[in-house]
Amino acid sequence: MITPSVGFSLSQWNSYIDGYSRICTSGAASFLGTGHRERRILPIRDGLGNQTRGQEGKIAIEFTLFENIMIVLGIETSCDETGVAVYDSDRGLISHEVYTQAVHAEYGGVVPELASRDHIRKLPVLVKDVLEKSRTGLREIDGIAYTAGPGLAGALLVGTSVARSMAWALGKPAIAVHHMEAHLLVPMMEDPNLEFPFVCLLVSGGHTQLVHVSGVGRYQLLGQSIDDAAGEAFDKTAKILGLGYPGGPALARLAEQGTPNTYKFPRPMVDRPGCDFSFSGLKTFALNTWNDSGQTEQNKADIALAFQDAVVDTLLIKCKRALESTGVKTLVLAGGVSANQALREQLQVFGQEKGVRIAYPSPQYCTDNGAMIAYTGSLRLMAGESHSQNTYTVKPRWPMIELGPPA
């Protein structure tokens, strides 16, 4: 934003633009600064482009140089999705692409070696496509963020090697991003009014956690699954019902055809204090119910609905406890299972009744994606954090509580 310190005519304003734009493009003014005021004496030119002589031919202009405006390339390869994105801290998300691997469907689950090979095949193509669509040159990238864990070791190494190699070749900083922290923070990318503190329900294929979030890197674990995560339970129950892989979305669609209250599933661990979860018993209960049923298509839909209701009710009960224990009035839903419509609807009803704000990302940012990695990386890079080019490690198991504020 530019504010003139003295009044001047429209023609003078137009003629000043030439001098100002040349300063911006020549590198004389850096726009990677933060919010300090700058005062420049710029020449006024006449209609022929000649500088007006004398002091009256100059004008004092005050403007703000914004610091820490960064363009970050994000790379996600933790499991079976290859994600790449370009995020601009000033303009927001510019471009992103996600490729979901189909090779695992015939096996009923992710095969780590096949996942790694597919990342190798697809990642360079996605990087090229995203940069072209965003009209961003490699030299314009200010930093590269990549998923370093948790996830499959081989898959993580693919993204890490590409990101580190690019950063080294370009002379740019690189930063290792925690996959679950990225899920937790991505709702803030879409909603600038979402502020700390909040409680986050992280529900993905391998994780179910309740976290008290007071800032970037300031996390208190309130509860987590002691066995199967909610996403795992969805996929395994879907496999029992013969729904294929990935099973979670298929089971949710089938549940829409179910008859309410045909079956009653337990709500695990709700009779115990605390916010921990356990979903492995629900999978067993679903298996026994299916074996004892007539195994018709309607039985299948009714079991899917009963299972989903049990998971949603359990998550809601534990969310209520987490909010009560922290006194926080904002609940953020994140992770792959956060796309489940029944879960969103139940939380919205609860939020309206109790005056709790409910926030969650768009469905495209619920599953693994490069946008969340680029956004989280930008937050930490702009705070001055980056990791040594000599560091080349991944963390398949990486508790989020090991993270700290940007340093």
CATH number among 3.30.420.40, 3.65.10.10, 3.40.190.10, 3.30.70.260, domain 70-407: 3.30.420.40
Give pTM, 2 decimals: 0.83
Q: Quick one: pLDDT at residue 3?
A: 32
Task: Give the SS3 label for residue 51.
Answer: strand
Listed in sequence order, the residues at least 6 apart from 3 whose beta carbon sits closer than 8 Å to its beta carbon are 61, 62, 63
Among 143, 136, 148, residue whose Cα is nearest residue 174: 143
CB 147 within 8 A of CB 373: yes
User: Tens digit of pLDDT for each residue in 52-81?
Assistant: 444 444 444 433 333 568 999 999 999 999
Mean pLDDT of 30-35: 31
Dump pLDDT digits (tens) for 198-244. 999 999 878 999 999 999 999 999 999 999 999 999 999 999 999 98
Confidence of residue 42 (pLDDT cuts 50, 70, 90): very low
Separation CA 319–CA 140 (nearest Å)? 42
Ranges of CATH 3.30.420.40 domains, the chain: 70-407
* Cα gap 133→369, rounded to integer Å: 17
Residue 67 confidence (pLDDT): 53
d(CA 70, CA 140): 9
How does residue 388 score in pLDDT terms, banded at 50, 70 and 90? confident
pLDDT one-digit tens code per residue, 122-173: 999 999 999 999 999 999 999 999 999 999 999 999 999 999 999 999 999 9
Query: How far is residue 370's CA from residue 78's CA, in Å, rounded to a whole number?
Result: 11
The residue length of the chain stands at 407
| Share in percent of the chain as helix, strand, coil (round to 5) | 45, 25, 35
DSSP 79-135: SSEEEEEEEETTTEEEEEEEEE--TTGGGTS--HHHHHHHHHHHHHHHHHHHHHHTT
